[in-house]
Amino acid sequence: MRLYDGVDFYPILLPAKDFVRYRDAGRSFTRDALSEEDYARIVEEAEKALTGEIPLLRATVYMRFLRDGDRSEYETAYFKRRTMLRALTFAEKLGGNGRYLDRIIDLLWLICEETTWVLPAHNQRDAPDAERRVLTEDVEGETRKIDLFSAETAAELANVCDMIGDELRGEYDMVLRRVLYSIDQKVLIPFEKYLFGWEGYTKNAFLNNWNPWIISNVLTAAAFTVTDDYRREAIVVKAVQVLEKFTDTYPLDGGCDEGPSYWSVAGASLFDCLELLYDLTGGRADVFSSELVGNMCDYFRKAFISGNYVMNFADAPAVYDAEGSARLLWRMARRTGNRDLGDFARYLAWRSGAVKPLAPGQNCVYRKVENYLERVPPYEGGGVVTHASFPGITVAVMRDGESFDKGFFFAIKGGHNGESHNHNDVGSFILYRDGRPVIVDMGVGTYSRKTFSEERYDIKPMTSPYHSTAEIAGFAEPTGREYRSEDAVFAPDGTALSFELKNAYPAEAGILSYRREGRLEKGKATVSDVLRLAKEEDVVFHLISFEKPEARDGDLILGSCRLRIEPAVKPEIEEYVFEDERFVNTWQRKSVWRIHVPVRVKEGSFRFVFTPAE
């Protein structure tokens, strides 16, 4: 969907001198505009950054990505520099009176001196001498690569220029000129000169969060540093064209196949772009009433479960700091006129209060400032989603009550196995009761070279046997868009979704038909499978239980739930001990439990019925 179809930006884009920042907030980033709690938190972070050690960024650590697959060591140091810079800049802007200036200058100098702003995981080479050539993108002439965090770095530095540029002029003019030069050379000029796969221009382009995430930061950098109006217009026009390639591919229902955490830099980053374009045009470029925009903004509310738990298909973790999104969601609700989303934002704000410090690598600095300027009214109830359907990604969400913390939450997905951040999980489901996990999707471990390589599906939690799916005739689900669900049927009342899974498996599995239905009624969730195979085969249904299953009266007790298998089959129970610390941190435990239900069948029907254990 082309949001700006027919809009000519050249006549409506404001001259640089007339650009009003944060127009929707109606106030600028000053001490008086912030709450006491927000201000205190900013100063606390700045004081830590004032005395904390500035980390080194070493070439050998950068090369670890190719040597042993580690990307965390370099990224930790890289992001710490930028986190320190943001905290110090905010505090200086809010009345630091020069206290933080020297430290800011040191960080600016060091970041500008970095050989590349592109992370090692995004700067790969296919040549045999890859390890020796990993830094060539910026060593051998002009920069021709923009990744998520080079763009974000440009926006961070541009924000420094915007907030405290006057303090840098004069004695520190050389530093300011170096910063502007670096932003130009490493991001803005490459954006103007070249086409990139994440933009959607190249052959077989694969669009995902990279598109709006990068554009939100490119627009921020241009808005704050480009004063030539003709150049400013050209950057904005290309940015809009790139964004519309993203929205052209996005389902109208607003469903994000990358999951809630990636929504924060996909649909939410698109919203950042729309706010920037609104401000850059003095409110003339206003598309917030678009159905697509409204649905995108409402996605997170529909994917929210309880506490910090969210629906986590694909690489999205099951635990996400939803509270930090309250002010963003409140702006979304106001812009799109969604009262239910506004109630949800009030709920999250009621639970948390102040804006939580978010490091670079998580959002656009323009969004961060707008969050600080936002005020969310008290919670008065509402905002709970009882059911939601996403036909574009074949996902259904169901809840059997009007409470975030009581009753069942059930979600089931179809889709295909070539999705962005894909797991081989077509047909899988998750189940929570009273805000606690019952059947889970483990999520993803620590990102490494292996995560986004040909070895991705050597990682067990990426594969279908480690989801709530079945192995048929010894075959698990393969990878690729062709392995997919079909003939999805969403119940009109939102209480069920069914689909055909025959083509989620290779032809060698001999499946004539495999139809799965997920249904939620008051106090009961049911997953029903009907199988027809070419000949009798061994089939194993897999479930991932959060709690250790206990046999009782012919059923399994999974924490607060009872699982009845129909017809009765004796399951096999296996503890899966996490091999990656990220899983331990996500779930706050060392293992989960795999339930295997083996049957031998040519044609048959099976049901998994979940009810309260009491």
Is the Cβ–Cβ distance between 29 and 22 less than 8 Å?
yes
Scan for tokens 């917030």, then name that residue. 288
Residue 107: predicted pLDDT: 98
| Tokens 């678009």 belong to residue | 290
Which two three-digit tokens encode residue 190?
């490459």
The predicted pLDDT at position 546 comes to 98
Pick the CATH number of 387-612 from 2.70.98.70, 3.30.2010.10, 3.40.109.40, 3.40.50.300: 2.70.98.70
Say whether 387-612 and 1-28+252-384 share the same fold.
Answer: no
The Cα 213–Cα 262 span in angstroms is 10
- pLDDT, residue 452, reads 87
Contact (Cβ atoms closer than 8 angstroms) between residue 328 and residue 362 = no
C-alpha distance from residue 86 to each of 110, 286, 301, 593 (Å) = 14, 29, 29, 42
Packed helices 210-225 and 173-183: angle between N→C axes, nearest 10 degrees: 140
Show the low-confidence residues of the chain (pLDDT under 70).
Answer: 124-141, 203-205, 322-324, 352-362
Q: How far apart are CA 346 and CA 614, in angstroms?
A: 33
What architecture is domain 1-28+252-384? Alpha/alpha barrel (1.50)
CB–CB of 459/445 below 8 Å?
yes
**What is the domain partition of the chain in residue ranges?**
1-28+252-384, 34-194, 387-612
For residue 395, give every residue at least 6 positions away whose Cβ sits within 8 Å of its Cβ, in sequence order, or none. 255, 311, 313, 389, 411, 412, 413, 414, 415, 497
Task: For 525-562, give one letter per residue: b (16+ CB within 10 A) or e.
Answer: bbbbbbbebeeebebbbbbbbbbebeeeeebbbbbebb
Bridge partners (DSSP) listed for residue 89: none
Q: What is the pLDDT of residue 533?
A: 98
User: What local confidence, expressed as pLDDT, does residue 356 receive?
Assistant: 52
Amino acid 206: pLDDT: 73
Residue 453: what pLDDT? 87
pLDDT at 127: 40
Q: How far is CA 241 from CA 62, 293, 457, 460, 468, in A?
A: 34, 17, 35, 39, 40
